A = this chain, B = another copy of it.
């Protein structure tokens, strides 16, 4: 929970997740979308991977990053505990 919030607490990392929502992309493609240096983006990708919000797959020189939403269900559960009057078994 702590690690998840910590990882999501950065606008660049959240923007990366939103990018990957569309489709998997290589580190370079992701970096192109931002003004930060490649090492900076690489670092953000590393943190996202550590938090298991993305997975990475190396093919030759390219590393493709893919969104992994399973961990976010944790966050969803945490959120829903504050909405006790609702059906928490709703199709999420």
* Chain A interface residues (CB < 8 Å from chain B): 1-2, 5-6, 8-9, 11, 14, 17-18, 21, 67, 69, 72, 75-76, 79, 81-84, 86-87, 90-92
- How far does the Cβ of A83 sit from chain B's closest Cβ, in whole Å? 7
Q: A79-B79, A90-B91 are in contact. List 15 more A-B contacts (CB 8 A).
A: A2-B11, A5-B5, A5-B8, A5-B14, A8-B9, A18-B81, A21-B81, A21-B82, A67-B82, A69-B82, A72-B79, A76-B79, A83-B92, A87-B91, A90-B92
Q: How far is the CA of A87 from the CA of B14 in the complex (A)?
A: 22
Contact: B82 with A91, CB < 8 Å? no
Contact: B82 with A92, CB < 8 Å? no
